[in-house]
Structure 1
Amino acid sequence: MRIPTAVLAIAMMCLGPVAAKEKPAPVYELQATGTIEIGPDGQVADYHLDKGQPAAIENALGRNIAQWRFEPIVMDGKPVIAKTRMRLSLEALPTPGEDYQLRVSGVSFGEPTRDRHHVAPPRYPEGLARAGIGAKAVLVLKLNADGSVQQVHAQQVSLSQNSGTDSQADRWRDVFAKASVAAARKWKFDISETVAGAPIGTTIKVPVEYFLNGSAARTKEPGANEWRRYIPGPVIRAPWLDAAPIADHDADQLKDGEVRSLASRFKLRDEVVGRLL
């Protein structure tokens, strides 16, 4: 879908104005979310985009989504109806004619939502808070069909600063990992993926950030314009995941409070990432 610059500028005001004659031209990005249902034949039976998208974007997405084809989802040897949440990342790329071309840059399925009453953040380890040490812990959680947490694994813990020794860094990461895992065991999520009308368990990735704001230690997202510095820790795969590649997509760029599914049953037959709208 090729959109004149003026039309795109109006439709994407939430992303900022288009700078006329700026070289190089800016590239715009946004994310769209919604739900999708497929029939036993793998064709899209229904879909719904969440409110808030500009009409030009919603119309372009709708035409594209309707053409998607999935591998049929089978239960007890029989293809069934299935429904899930979807998240799409979009880019608006400049063209030589000063128009913009919309492209799908990422897609994921099966993202559950946090139950607001059952997602208490971890307690910031007091000793590390006093020492001014922050961290980002990336957790992998195995969820039951009711959204409760069955297993938790700290996949990676990255520190806000270097330590004097590798053993000291290991101890700090271990403290943050234990605090994160202890809190996550009590969490509960609203499962979004259903097969034949019944919710199914999944595996998800969730980040937790520990950061200092002046003298206060917090475990919630700082301001959107606030930079955070981390020294990446080693990545350790969750023991219950097999060696096959998992649908990770852009999960490494998750912000605190966001969730990505690693085990959705929705599998596209054709690649849609990179497709023009």
Structure 2
Amino acid sequence: MGLAGVVLLATPLVATAAGYGPAAVREQVESSMLVRGEVQIETDGTVSAVTLHREEKLPRGVVTLVREAALQWRFEPIVVEGAVVKAIAPMSLRVIARKGEGDSFEVALRGLNFQRFDSEDPQNVASLDMPPPRYPEQAWRTGASGDVYLLVRVGRNGQVEDAFAEQVNLGFLSSAAEQRRFRELFARNAVAAARRWTFRTPTTGETASQPYWNIRVPVSYRLSTGTVPREHDGYGRWNSYVAGPRESAPWRDAAQEAHFSPDTLPEGGVYMADAKGPRLLTPLHGG
């Protein structure tokens, strides 16, 4: 799988009593890779072809794992205007690796998303003004990094009515208390920024008359210098972090999110949380 070079996060920020310090938190560390591509769905719901984006950047073992699993998927047949049709659906999923016994790793698929980011589609919510959040000073001073996965409720006037951090993954090791504190810091910071955003709301399609829309926006806090060239953007590399707990927004039914993982959404997009996509009938690993 190409895991030999994975670096498990930065030096701990603090040291604390046994059971609550970085050693205990290290057990929560996982390494993952976000893989994107497309699947071709036949009229009977089976998958006839799998295309992986920038396949040459992916470890061969990951390519084999994803392709073999996807070719076993079966979807609910896709109906357009009363007729069952073939379809090509975008996909993004996370390949997760956890340290096992000795030098072994347990590798699995977790979370699958079929949403396409299309800011030009008048049926979608699209950004008008989304100033990025300022890096929290405390996090900047300590070198803390993380990813916040926001659920945002947008009203008919394009203003944000509410925002909620569904998950916060951290890119460093520290005590459990410090992890919790920085998750809350990043979450508050991202939510505060989101409340100032404005959006273009849908003007056509089935959802155009809704009183509000739910969207998802990934927000990354990473210290960097300058623009990262496309060929060095990290795609195809393992990323290690301490995965945060999944939380449900108070205005959402948790059952709606039963098979969804927020961190399957690639950075840089605005995603419709209630968009209808292909419905997978088989387990994620196929069969």
TM-score (norm 2): 0.52
Given candidates 169, 175, 199, the residue that maps to 1:158 is 169
Taking the aligned partners of 1:233 and 1:197, their CA distance within structure 2 comes to: 32
User: What are the ranges of 5 or more consecutive residues in structure 2 without an aligned counterpart?
Assistant: 1-39, 41-50, 68-77, 94-111, 119-123
Aligned to 2:156: 145
Which secondary structure does the structure 2 equivalent of 1:245 belong to? helix
The change in CA–CA distance for 1:43 and 1:192 in structure 2 (over 3 A counts) is: farther
Taking the aligned partners of 2:153 and 2:163, their CA distance within structure 1 comes to: 6
User: What is the CA distance between 1:244 and its match in structure 2?
Assistant: 2.5
User: What is the CA distance between 1:209 and its match in structure 2?
Assistant: 0.7
Aligned to 1:107: 114
Aligned to 2:179: 169
Taking the aligned partners of 2:184 and 2:52, their CA distance within structure 1 comes to: 44
Given candidates 75, 88, 91, the residue that maps to 2:90 is 88
Matched letter for residue 91 of structure 2: S
Taking the aligned partners of 1:121 and 1:206, their CA distance within structure 2 comes to: 11
Q: C-alpha offsets along residues 120-151 of structure 1, whole Å, 9 cap, x if unaligned?
A: 11100122112111011111111223432111
Taking the aligned partners of 2:281 and 2:138, their CA distance within structure 1 comes to: 48
Larger RCO (CA within 8 A; separation ≥ 6) = 2
The change in CA–CA distance for 1:229 and 1:16 in structure 2 (over 3 A counts) is: closer
User: What are the ranges of 5 or more consecutive residues in structure 1 without an aligned counterpart?
Assistant: 2-11, 30-41, 47-61, 66-85, 92-104
User: What is the CA distance between 1:206 and its match in structure 2?
Assistant: 1.7
Say whether the 8 Å CA contact 1:106–1:273 is kept in structure 2: no
Question: Any residues of structure 2 matched to 1:168-247 within 5 Å, and which?
Answer: 168-192=178-202, 194-195=204-205, 198-200=208-210, 201-213=212-224, 223-225=233-235, 228-246=239-257
The change in CA–CA distance for 1:87 and 1:114 in structure 2 (over 3 A counts) is: farther
Measured on the aligned residues, the alpha-carbon RMSD in Å equals 4.6
Aligned length: 196
Matched letter for residue 214 of structure 2: T
The change in CA–CA distance for 1:23 and 1:171 in structure 2 (over 3 A counts) is: closer
The change in CA–CA distance for 1:234 and 1:16 in structure 2 (over 3 A counts) is: closer
Aligned to 2:24: none
1:44 aligns with 2:80: yes
Aligned to 2:273: 262
The change in CA–CA distance for 1:137 and 1:110 in structure 2 (over 3 A counts) is: closer
The change in CA–CA distance for 1:228 and 1:124 in structure 2 (over 3 A counts) is: farther
Taking the aligned partners of 1:118 and 1:193, their CA distance within structure 2 comes to: 18
Say whether the 8 Å CA contact 1:138–1:157 is kept in structure 2: yes
Taking the aligned partners of 2:143 and 2:149, their CA distance within structure 1 comes to: 20
Say whether the 8 Å CA contact 1:148–1:188 is kept in structure 2: yes
Q: C-alpha offsets along residues 162-208 of structure 1, whole Å, 9 cap, x if unaligned?
A: 21x32222221111111100111111233347456835332122211
Q: C-alpha offsets along residues 31-78 of structure 1, whole Å, 9 cap, x if unaligned?
A: xxxxxxxxxxx96359xxxxxxxxxxxxxxx9514xxxxxxxxxxxxx
Question: Any residues of structure 2 matched to 1:11-22 within 5 Å, and which?
Answer: 15=54
Matched letter for residue 148 of structure 2: A
Aligned to 1:33: none
TM-score (norm 1): 0.54
Sequence identity, in percent?
27
Matched letter for residue 215 of structure 2: I
Taking the aligned partners of 2:224 and 2:61, their CA distance within structure 1 comes to: 37
Say whether the 8 Å CA contact 1:136–1:230 is kept in structure 2: no
Which secondary structure does the structure 1 equivalent of 2:86 belong to? helix
Taking the aligned partners of 2:146 and 2:153, their CA distance within structure 1 comes to: 22
